Amino acid sequence: MNIKILTPEYVVFEGEVDSVLLPGKNGEFHIMKNHAGIVSSLIGGNVKLYANSIDEAFAKNFTKEAGKDSVFAYAIKSGVVEFNHDKGIILCE
């Protein structure tokens, strides 16, 4: 599935991932391939991408989870996600 993470200043990430874990108002939620369409607000926390690797151009924006080579985390203050047809856009600050 294709995910884009955007801030007002720059593109944090754009590429293929296996799944993404997001900090929602009612708790974290996981979006996987073939997930139903969703629009949701996000709170402060980590957006976690699950992928074998990410492009070097975007890697500088992420931290790797200790002991988990395929989990890449990006801290946000708030945001919104729209996901449909295996494509997601995360607008955040």
Q: Are 90 and 5 in contact (CB under 8 A)?
A: yes
Q: Are 58 and 14 in contact (CB under 8 A)?
A: yes
Q: Are 31 and 3 in contact (CB under 8 A)?
A: no
Render pLDDT for 15-74 as a digit per residue (tens, 0 to 9): 999 999 999 999 999 999 999 999 999 999 999 999 999 999 999 999 998 888 899 999
Can you give the C-alpha Rg of the chain in angstroms? 12
| pTM as predicted | 0.95
**CATH number of 24's domain:** 2.60.15.10
Q: Residue 91 above 90 pLDDT?
A: yes
- Total number of domains constituting the chain: 1
Domain that residue 54 falls in: 2-92
pLDDT of residue 68: 85
Contacts for 56 with CB less than 8 Å, ≥ 6 apart: none
How many CB atoms lie under 10 A from the CB of residue 83?
A: 20
CA distance 86 to 76: 22
